[in-house]
Amino acid sequence: LTVTREKRGVPVVCLISSRVIHPLPPQILLRVQVMVTGPQTIQKAVGANVTLGCSYTLSPSDTGVLDIEWSMARRNTMHSHQTLITYTTGTEYIHDSRALTNGLSFAARDPSLGDASLSIALLSPADSGTYQCKVKKPPGLDMRRVSLVVMAKPSVPKCWVEGGELVGEAVSLRCKSEKGSTPLKYAWWRESADPIPAAAPIPAAATQNSYTGELKISNHAQSFAGTYLCEATNAVGAEHCRVDLKANKPPNRAAVIAGTVVGSLLLIFTGLLYWKLRNRHHYEQESSNEIRYKLQLQHSDNSSKRSQKTPQQHPKNCRPHLPQLS
Protein backbone atom coordinates (compact mmCIF):
# COMPACT_ATOMS: atom_id res chain seq x y z
CA LEU A 1 0.00 0.00 0.00
CA THR A 2 1.37 3.37 -1.10
CA VAL A 3 0.09 6.68 0.30
CA THR A 4 1.15 10.05 -1.07
CA ARG A 5 0.68 13.23 0.93
CA GLU A 6 1.91 16.75 0.65
CA LYS A 7 3.47 18.54 3.53
CA ARG A 8 4.30 22.21 3.10
CA GLY A 9 4.19 21.77 -0.64
CA VAL A 10 6.55 18.79 -0.65
CA PRO A 11 5.12 15.37 -1.63
CA VAL A 12 5.75 12.64 0.91
CA VAL A 13 5.43 8.99 -0.05
CA CYS A 14 4.69 6.42 2.65
CA LEU A 15 4.94 2.69 1.93
CA ILE A 16 2.99 0.29 4.09
CA SER A 17 3.53 -3.44 3.69
CA SER A 18 2.53 -6.56 5.58
CA ARG A 19 4.54 -9.82 5.84
CA VAL A 20 3.52 -13.07 7.39
CA ILE A 21 6.25 -14.42 9.72
CA HIS A 22 6.36 -18.19 9.66
CA PRO A 23 7.80 -20.13 12.59
CA LEU A 24 11.28 -21.63 12.14
CA PRO A 25 11.33 -25.25 11.09
CA PRO A 26 12.13 -27.68 13.93
CA GLN A 27 15.52 -28.62 12.48
CA ILE A 28 16.92 -25.08 12.96
CA LEU A 29 15.59 -24.42 16.44
CA LEU A 30 18.23 -23.86 19.15
CA ARG A 31 19.32 -27.09 20.77
CA VAL A 32 21.39 -27.88 23.84
CA GLN A 33 24.43 -25.62 24.13
CA VAL A 34 27.60 -26.61 26.03
CA MET A 35 29.96 -23.92 27.36
CA VAL A 36 33.40 -24.70 28.77
CA THR A 37 34.31 -22.22 31.48
CA GLY A 38 37.91 -21.21 32.08
CA PRO A 39 40.92 -21.44 29.74
CA GLN A 40 41.10 -23.96 26.92
CA THR A 41 44.46 -25.21 28.24
CA ILE A 42 44.99 -25.72 31.96
CA GLN A 43 48.40 -26.30 33.59
CA LYS A 44 48.52 -27.86 37.04
CA ALA A 45 51.18 -29.26 39.36
CA VAL A 46 51.58 -32.92 40.24
CA GLY A 47 49.48 -33.71 43.33
CA ALA A 48 47.14 -30.75 42.88
CA ASN A 49 43.37 -30.82 42.28
CA VAL A 50 41.57 -29.43 39.25
CA THR A 51 38.03 -28.76 38.06
CA LEU A 52 37.36 -28.81 34.33
CA GLY A 53 34.40 -26.53 33.77
CA CYS A 54 31.47 -27.58 31.60
CA SER A 55 28.10 -25.85 31.84
CA TYR A 56 25.18 -26.29 29.47
CA THR A 57 21.72 -24.97 28.65
CA LEU A 58 18.80 -26.99 27.27
CA SER A 59 16.17 -26.07 24.73
CA PRO A 60 12.45 -26.73 25.29
CA SER A 61 12.56 -28.90 22.21
CA ASP A 62 15.13 -31.22 23.87
CA THR A 63 12.77 -33.83 25.25
CA GLY A 64 14.91 -36.95 25.29
CA VAL A 65 16.87 -38.52 28.14
CA LEU A 66 19.78 -36.39 29.42
CA ASP A 67 23.14 -38.08 28.87
CA ILE A 68 26.45 -36.49 30.02
CA GLU A 69 29.78 -38.03 29.11
CA TRP A 70 33.40 -37.12 29.90
CA SER A 71 36.11 -38.77 27.80
CA MET A 72 39.84 -38.26 27.48
CA ALA A 73 42.59 -38.75 24.88
CA ARG A 74 46.14 -38.84 26.25
CA ARG A 75 48.77 -36.52 24.87
CA ASN A 76 51.11 -37.66 22.10
CA THR A 77 48.89 -40.62 21.21
CA MET A 78 46.64 -41.34 18.29
CA HIS A 79 44.09 -43.29 20.31
CA SER A 80 40.46 -42.22 20.32
CA HIS A 81 38.83 -40.74 23.37
CA GLN A 82 38.37 -43.13 26.27
CA THR A 83 35.19 -42.76 28.29
CA LEU A 84 35.87 -41.85 31.93
CA ILE A 85 32.55 -41.05 33.60
CA THR A 86 28.93 -40.67 32.48
CA TYR A 87 25.63 -39.46 33.91
CA THR A 88 22.36 -40.85 32.60
CA THR A 89 18.88 -41.42 34.00
CA GLY A 90 19.96 -39.79 37.25
CA THR A 91 22.92 -42.13 37.92
CA GLU A 92 26.71 -41.66 37.66
CA TYR A 93 28.81 -44.39 36.04
CA ILE A 94 32.60 -44.65 36.23
CA HIS A 95 34.15 -46.39 33.23
CA ASP A 96 37.87 -46.10 34.08
CA SER A 97 39.28 -48.11 36.99
CA ARG A 98 41.92 -45.46 37.75
CA ALA A 99 39.14 -43.00 38.51
CA LEU A 100 38.46 -44.77 41.79
CA THR A 101 41.93 -43.92 43.07
CA ASN A 102 42.32 -40.52 41.39
CA GLY A 103 39.11 -39.09 42.85
CA LEU A 104 37.43 -38.52 39.48
CA SER A 105 33.85 -37.25 39.89
CA PHE A 106 31.32 -34.67 38.81
CA ALA A 107 31.87 -31.38 40.61
CA ALA A 108 28.14 -30.75 41.13
CA ARG A 109 25.99 -32.98 43.28
CA ASP A 110 23.32 -33.00 40.55
CA PRO A 111 24.81 -32.65 37.03
CA SER A 112 21.31 -32.45 35.53
CA LEU A 113 20.93 -28.84 36.71
CA GLY A 114 23.26 -27.37 34.07
CA ASP A 115 26.71 -27.97 35.59
CA ALA A 116 28.58 -30.98 34.23
CA SER A 117 32.05 -29.89 35.42
CA LEU A 118 34.59 -32.62 36.17
CA SER A 119 36.80 -32.77 39.30
CA ILE A 120 40.12 -34.65 39.43
CA ALA A 121 42.07 -34.98 42.68
CA LEU A 122 45.77 -35.74 43.20
CA LEU A 123 46.89 -35.18 39.65
CA SER A 124 49.69 -37.24 38.10
CA PRO A 125 51.49 -36.90 34.74
CA ALA A 126 49.24 -39.68 33.40
CA ASP A 127 46.27 -37.29 33.71
CA SER A 128 47.66 -35.03 30.99
CA GLY A 129 45.53 -35.07 27.87
CA THR A 130 42.55 -33.63 26.02
CA TYR A 131 39.22 -33.93 27.85
CA GLN A 132 35.86 -33.80 26.11
CA CYS A 133 32.54 -32.91 27.72
CA LYS A 134 29.53 -34.13 25.70
CA VAL A 135 25.93 -33.35 26.65
CA LYS A 136 23.13 -35.10 24.78
CA LYS A 137 19.40 -34.65 25.21
CA PRO A 138 17.74 -35.74 21.99
CA PRO A 139 17.40 -34.23 19.61
CA GLY A 140 19.99 -31.81 21.04
CA LEU A 141 23.72 -32.62 21.19
CA ASP A 142 26.80 -30.48 21.87
CA MET A 143 30.36 -30.94 23.13
CA ARG A 144 33.47 -28.99 24.10
CA ARG A 145 37.13 -29.89 24.71
CA VAL A 146 39.77 -28.67 27.16
CA SER A 147 43.46 -29.62 27.44
CA LEU A 148 45.07 -30.49 30.77
CA VAL A 149 48.86 -30.43 31.26
CA VAL A 150 50.17 -31.88 34.53
CA MET A 151 53.68 -30.64 35.34
CA ALA A 152 56.23 -31.22 38.09
CA LYS A 153 57.16 -28.19 40.17
CA PRO A 154 60.86 -27.28 40.36
CA SER A 155 62.83 -29.02 43.08
CA VAL A 156 64.65 -26.89 45.65
CA PRO A 157 67.62 -25.57 43.66
CA LYS A 158 71.25 -25.71 44.73
CA CYS A 159 73.18 -22.43 44.96
CA TRP A 160 76.96 -22.15 44.96
CA VAL A 161 79.83 -19.77 44.17
CA GLU A 162 82.39 -20.36 41.42
CA GLY A 163 85.63 -18.43 41.77
CA GLY A 164 87.93 -17.24 44.53
CA GLU A 165 85.67 -14.34 45.63
CA LEU A 166 88.69 -12.05 45.30
CA VAL A 167 88.20 -8.34 44.69
CA GLY A 168 89.08 -7.42 41.13
CA GLU A 169 88.56 -10.89 39.71
CA ALA A 170 85.63 -12.62 38.00
CA VAL A 171 83.15 -14.60 40.10
CA SER A 172 79.92 -16.43 39.26
CA LEU A 173 76.91 -17.48 41.29
CA ARG A 174 75.27 -20.68 40.11
CA CYS A 175 71.73 -22.02 40.60
CA LYS A 176 70.35 -25.39 39.45
CA SER A 177 67.17 -27.42 40.04
CA GLU A 178 67.63 -31.14 39.48
CA LYS A 179 63.91 -31.83 38.94
CA GLY A 180 60.98 -30.00 37.41
CA SER A 181 59.09 -29.81 34.14
CA THR A 182 60.64 -27.64 31.48
CA PRO A 183 60.94 -24.86 30.67
CA LEU A 184 62.64 -23.82 33.90
CA LYS A 185 63.69 -20.21 34.41
CA TYR A 186 66.01 -18.75 37.02
CA ALA A 187 66.09 -15.27 38.52
CA TRP A 188 68.59 -13.77 41.01
CA TRP A 189 67.87 -11.16 43.66
CA ARG A 190 70.04 -9.59 46.30
CA GLU A 191 68.55 -9.61 49.78
CA SER A 192 68.38 -6.26 51.51
CA ALA A 193 69.68 -5.52 54.97
CA ASP A 194 66.16 -5.16 56.38
CA PRO A 195 65.20 -7.38 59.37
CA ILE A 196 62.79 -9.23 57.06
CA PRO A 197 64.65 -10.26 53.91
CA ALA A 198 63.29 -8.42 50.93
CA ALA A 199 64.19 -8.82 47.29
CA ALA A 200 66.39 -6.09 45.86
CA PRO A 201 67.78 -5.62 42.35
CA ILE A 202 71.12 -7.19 41.57
CA PRO A 203 74.05 -4.82 40.90
CA ALA A 204 74.02 -3.24 37.47
CA ALA A 205 77.51 -4.55 36.67
CA ALA A 206 76.34 -8.15 37.07
CA THR A 207 74.68 -10.13 34.29
CA GLN A 208 72.41 -13.13 34.70
CA ASN A 209 71.24 -15.89 32.38
CA SER A 210 67.66 -16.91 33.12
CA TYR A 211 68.07 -20.28 31.37
CA THR A 212 71.40 -21.49 32.82
CA GLY A 213 70.97 -19.92 36.27
CA GLU A 214 74.32 -18.08 36.21
CA LEU A 215 74.88 -14.65 37.74
CA LYS A 216 78.25 -13.41 36.46
CA ILE A 217 80.30 -10.61 38.00
CA SER A 218 83.25 -9.78 35.76
CA ASN A 219 85.01 -7.39 38.18
CA HIS A 220 84.27 -8.31 41.78
CA ALA A 221 84.16 -5.51 44.35
CA GLN A 222 83.33 -5.05 48.01
CA SER A 223 79.96 -3.58 47.04
CA PHE A 224 78.89 -6.94 45.59
CA ALA A 225 79.26 -8.78 48.91
CA GLY A 226 76.01 -9.97 50.47
CA THR A 227 73.33 -12.64 50.44
CA TYR A 228 71.81 -13.56 47.11
CA LEU A 229 68.56 -15.43 46.42
CA CYS A 230 67.91 -17.54 43.33
CA GLU A 231 64.38 -18.56 42.35
CA ALA A 232 63.66 -21.42 39.95
CA THR A 233 60.20 -21.25 38.36
CA ASN A 234 58.01 -22.94 35.79
CA ALA A 235 54.32 -22.69 34.93
CA VAL A 236 53.14 -24.48 38.09
CA GLY A 237 55.50 -23.55 40.92
CA ALA A 238 58.67 -21.99 42.26
CA GLU A 239 61.47 -22.81 44.71
CA HIS A 240 64.50 -20.84 45.86
CA CYS A 241 67.89 -21.06 47.54
CA ARG A 242 70.36 -18.61 49.10
CA VAL A 243 74.11 -18.16 48.96
CA ASP A 244 76.52 -15.74 50.66
CA LEU A 245 79.04 -13.93 48.48
CA LYS A 246 82.20 -12.62 50.15
CA ALA A 247 84.68 -10.05 48.88
CA ASN A 248 88.17 -11.13 49.92
CA LYS A 249 91.13 -8.80 49.47
CA PRO A 250 93.71 -10.20 47.08
CA PRO A 251 97.09 -11.07 48.64
CA ASN A 252 100.05 -8.61 48.39
CA ARG A 253 101.68 -9.35 45.06
CA ALA A 254 105.13 -8.25 46.23
CA ALA A 255 104.90 -10.55 49.22
CA VAL A 256 103.75 -13.38 47.00
CA ILE A 257 106.69 -12.85 44.62
CA ALA A 258 109.17 -12.61 47.51
CA GLY A 259 107.76 -15.73 49.10
CA THR A 260 108.00 -17.56 45.79
CA VAL A 261 111.64 -16.54 45.33
CA VAL A 262 112.61 -17.49 48.89
CA GLY A 263 110.82 -20.80 48.56
CA SER A 264 112.62 -21.53 45.29
CA LEU A 265 116.02 -20.70 46.83
CA LEU A 266 115.32 -22.92 49.82
CA LEU A 267 114.34 -25.72 47.51
CA ILE A 268 117.55 -25.34 45.48
CA PHE A 269 119.70 -25.17 48.65
CA THR A 270 118.03 -28.25 50.06
CA GLY A 271 118.64 -30.12 46.82
CA LEU A 272 122.32 -29.16 46.72
CA LEU A 273 122.82 -30.10 50.36
CA TYR A 274 121.21 -33.46 49.82
CA TRP A 275 123.35 -34.08 46.73
CA LYS A 276 126.54 -33.15 48.58
CA LEU A 277 125.80 -35.29 51.61
CA ARG A 278 124.92 -38.22 49.42
CA ASN A 279 128.16 -37.95 47.44
CA ARG A 280 130.18 -37.62 50.63
CA HIS A 281 128.64 -40.72 52.09
CA HIS A 282 129.31 -42.58 48.86
CA TYR A 283 132.97 -41.45 48.83
CA GLU A 284 133.53 -42.47 52.46
CA GLN A 285 132.00 -45.86 51.80
CA GLU A 286 134.25 -46.44 48.79
CA SER A 287 137.36 -45.36 50.75
CA SER A 288 136.53 -47.73 53.59
CA ASN A 289 136.07 -50.59 51.17
CA GLU A 290 139.39 -49.81 49.48
CA ILE A 291 141.31 -49.78 52.80
CA ARG A 292 139.73 -53.03 53.83
CA TYR A 293 140.70 -54.58 50.50
CA LYS A 294 144.34 -53.45 50.84
CA LEU A 295 144.59 -54.85 54.36
CA GLN A 296 143.27 -58.17 53.16
CA LEU A 297 145.87 -58.28 50.36
CA GLN A 298 148.72 -57.41 52.73
CA HIS A 299 147.70 -60.08 55.20
CA SER A 300 147.55 -62.63 52.41
CA ASP A 301 151.11 -61.75 51.20
CA ASN A 302 152.58 -62.06 54.70
CA SER A 303 151.06 -65.46 55.19
CA SER A 304 152.52 -66.80 51.94
CA LYS A 305 156.03 -65.51 52.78
CA ARG A 306 156.07 -67.19 56.18
CA SER A 307 155.08 -70.49 54.67
CA GLN A 308 158.02 -70.36 52.22
CA LYS A 309 160.73 -69.65 54.90
CA THR A 310 159.81 -72.49 57.28
CA PRO A 311 162.15 -75.68 56.68
CA GLN A 312 160.72 -79.14 56.30
CA GLN A 313 160.77 -80.94 59.71
CA HIS A 314 161.75 -84.63 60.11
CA PRO A 315 161.29 -86.76 63.22
CA LYS A 316 164.39 -87.24 65.46
CA ASN A 317 166.34 -90.63 65.56
CA CYS A 318 164.87 -91.51 62.30
CA ARG A 319 167.24 -93.50 60.10
CA PRO A 320 166.69 -94.70 56.67
CA HIS A 321 165.76 -98.34 56.40
CA LEU A 322 168.29 -100.27 54.34
CA PRO A 323 167.66 -103.71 53.01
CA GLN A 324 169.74 -106.59 54.53
CA LEU A 325 172.15 -108.63 52.47
CA SER A 326 172.02 -112.35 52.80
Supply the pTM of this predicted model.
0.61
Per-residue pLDDT averaged across 259-284, rounded? 78
Burial 141-170 (b: 16+ CB within 10 A, else e): ebbbbbbbbbbbbbeebebebeeebebeee
pLDDT attached to residue 309: 56
Query: Phi and psi for 199 in degrees, rounded to 5?
Result: -70, 135
Q: Which residues on neighbouring strands pair with residue 188, listed in sequence order?
A: 230
Per-residue confidence band for 67, with pLDDT thresholds at 50, 70 and 90: very high
- How far is residue 5's CA from residue 15's CA, in Å, rounded to a whole number? 11
Range in 68-77, 102-111, 309-318 the model is least confident about = 309-318
217-224 long-range contacts, CB within 8 A, separation 24+: 217/170, 217/171, 217/172, 217/173, 218/170, 219/168, 219/169, 219/170, 220/163, 220/165, 220/166, 220/167, 220/168, 220/169, 220/170, 220/171, 220/247, 221/167, 221/168, 221/247, 222/167, 222/247, 223/247, 224/171
Pairing verdict, β 140-151 and 67-74: unpaired
Query: Who wins on pLDDT, 45 or 304?
Result: 45
How far from each other are the two terminal CA atoms of the chain, in whole angstroms?
212
Mean pLDDT of 103-128: 93
- Residues 10-33 have pLDDT tens digits of 454 444 444 443 444 444 445 678
pLDDT of residue 250: 80
Mean pLDDT of the chain: 79
- Of residues 225 and 307, which shows the higher confidence score? 225
Ordered by where they begin, the domains of the chain are 31-151 (2.60.40.10), 158-245 (2.60.40.10)
pLDDT attached to residue 77: 66
Strand partners of residue 232: 186, 239
